[in-house]
Amino acid sequence: MTGFLSGVATALITPFTKDGVNFDALGKLLEHQETQGADGVVVLGTTGEPATITLEEKKEVIIFARNHMRNMKLIVGTGGNCTENAVAMTKLAESLGADGILAVTPYYNKCTQKGLAEYYRTICAATSLPVIAYNVPGRTGVNLLPATMAEIAEIPNMAGIKEASGNMAQVMETARRIRGKCDLYSGEDALNLPILAAGGSAVISVVSNIVPADVKRLTEYVAQGNLKAANALSDALLPLADACFAEVNPIPVKAAMALLGYDAGLPRAPLTEIEPQHLDLLRKAMKNYGLEIVK
């Protein structure tokens, strides 16, 4: 299927206190995305730290987000390295009002391409919602190849692929094979512009936690064919994006939101607080971008 998502969906952080999810802070983060024009949010994606969130907390996050969103699409991360659990999470997300599913490739197991195809067929068969495949081999240890994506693109509710392989040759080949069948989404902020120019219909962005309106504007410039403005904005965004990946995501972006005055909390163990030298780098990048540091 095509046309599920355009513009920008923010891979949202999950704010924590020492006792659990900070729902007051989560509400403010959702309001920030809504008022700044984001088209959707992804909760419980990689940036949301689902590996260290309990099932009960996941339910609460989905319900809270559904009840506190007006005009944005709610996409829920449900993938995992156990197909049965991924199916169960997908069914739960649908029952709680999700608009779409983001299913990361199975991590650690290192399944074959056949295993990947079966994984996505099983998830798609378990839901009526649009499903987005998420390819991020640097974190999962498995790479969803273009030929395999072309195969699963035939599934009626396969909405597209969030591409974060970092390999533009592969991205281009995937785009060629799935064009008109399902959509291509950028999952890597450093490559938002070239992926959009290659026909990507949206970005699923980490940096848009910080500047959703500007990332949305980038997608609009490309859609309008205004590549001069798109290049200028991308040039400005890239140093900020680089700083947001100075350590493993979401450590820097949570620190960035704290610098902007949001009660983002610390990442959950085994992730740790950002190192001082990376915090300095992040603060400098944010100031150079023109952001007001309040903390």
Catalytic center residues: 134, 162
Distance (Å, whole) CA 80 – CA 61:
18
Cα-flanking dihedrals φ and ψ of residue 73, to 5°?
-85, 140
Distance (Å, whole) CA 200 – CA 173:
13
Distance (Å, whole) CA 139 – CA 233:
28
For the four alpha carbons of 103, 175, 229 and 217, in that order, the dihedral sign comes to negative
Distance (Å, whole) CA 243 – CA 49:
19
Are the C-beta atoms of 76 and 40 separated by less than 8 Å?
Answer: no
Q: What is residue 156's DSSP assignment?
A: T
Distance (Å, whole) CA 285 – CA 29:
21
59, 176, 78, 60: which is closest to 131 by C-alpha? Answer: 78
